């Protein structure tokens, strides 16, 4: 199944440390707005390939292994003022495939100061706090990701 063409194809990554906490970063362009890594899917790559590439671009490491992928595309609409500016107004929001990943590195492997930084700071957040820290227009997607992933994560020892 392919996403609705009104939405930009995108991946989201729930990167989990050994304690089961999820990586979140505060966006440089929106102080106070936290999110898990996410990014667009290039025409020549699978969602899984995009997830690993985006992880490297956004947080400076690909030291992770994919545990599993969401079973469906999840969409969110950008607020109207942002939709007009983002991506030249081409899409109304994003359609995302989400990936749960086990972090296989150490905190020193994470580098948010790459060539095109997106985050000012980062932290490991308990999964129960993810909904509260995300911007309101993305909350339904995070709720859906948690609803799908939590039983699978618990079964995997997270």
97 versus 89: the higher-pLDDT residue is 97
Residue of 5, 158, 151 whose CA lies nearest to 70: 151
Task: Dump pLDDT digits (tens) for 35-77.
Answer: 999 999 999 999 999 999 999 999 999 999 999 999 999 999 9
pLDDT of residue 93: 93
Query: What number is the average pLDDT over the span 98-114?
Result: 97
The strand pair at 93-103 and 7-16 is best described as parallel
Tokens standing for 62? 């690909």
Block residue for tokens 């939405």: 7
In a domain, 151, yes or no: yes
- Average pLDDT of the residues of the chain: 94
Phi and psi of 132, rounded to 5°? -70, -30
8 Å CB contact between 55 and 13: yes
CATH number at residue 109: 3.90.79.10
In a domain, 144, yes or no: yes
Give the Cα separation of 129 and 81 in Å (integer): 27
In a domain, 1, yes or no: no
Tokens standing for 151? 């039983």
Give, rounded to a whole angstrom, the gap between the first and last alpha carbons of the chain: 29
pLDDT of residue 88: 81
In a domain, 72, yes or no: yes
For the chain, how many structural domains are there in total? 1
Tokens standing for 46? 């699978």
In a domain, 75, yes or no: yes
HEC string of the chain equals CCCCCCEEEEEEEEEECCCCCEEEEEECCCCCCEECCEEECCCCCCHHHHHHHHHHHHHCCCCEEEEEECCCCEEEECCHHHHHHHHHHCCCEEEEEEEEEEECCCHHHCCCCCCCCCEEEEEEECHHHHHHHECHHHHHHHHHHHHHHHHHHHHCCC
In a domain, 2, yes or no: no
* Boundaries of domain holding 15: 7-155
pLDDT of residue 30: 85
């Amino acid at each position: 199944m392919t996403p609705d063409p009104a939405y930009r194809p995108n991946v989201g990554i729930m990167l989990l440390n050994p304690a089961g906490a999820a990586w979140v970063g505060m966006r440089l362009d929106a102080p106070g707005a936290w999110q898990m890594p996410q990014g667009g899917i290039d025409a020549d790559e699978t969602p899984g390939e995009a997830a690993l590439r985006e992880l490297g671009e956004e947080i400076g490491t690909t030291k992770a292994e994919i545990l599993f992928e969401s079973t469906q595309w999840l969409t969110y609409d950008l607020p109207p003022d942002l939709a007009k500016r983002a991506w030249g107004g081409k899409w109304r929001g994003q359609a995302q495939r989400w990936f749960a990943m086990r972090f296989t590195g150490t905190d020193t492997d994470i580098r948010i100061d790459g060539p095109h930084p997106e985050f000012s700071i980062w932290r490991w957040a308990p999964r129960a706090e993810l909904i509260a820290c995300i911007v309101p227009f993305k909350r339904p997607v995070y709720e859906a990701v948690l609803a799908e992933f939590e039983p699978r994560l618990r079964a995997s020892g997270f």
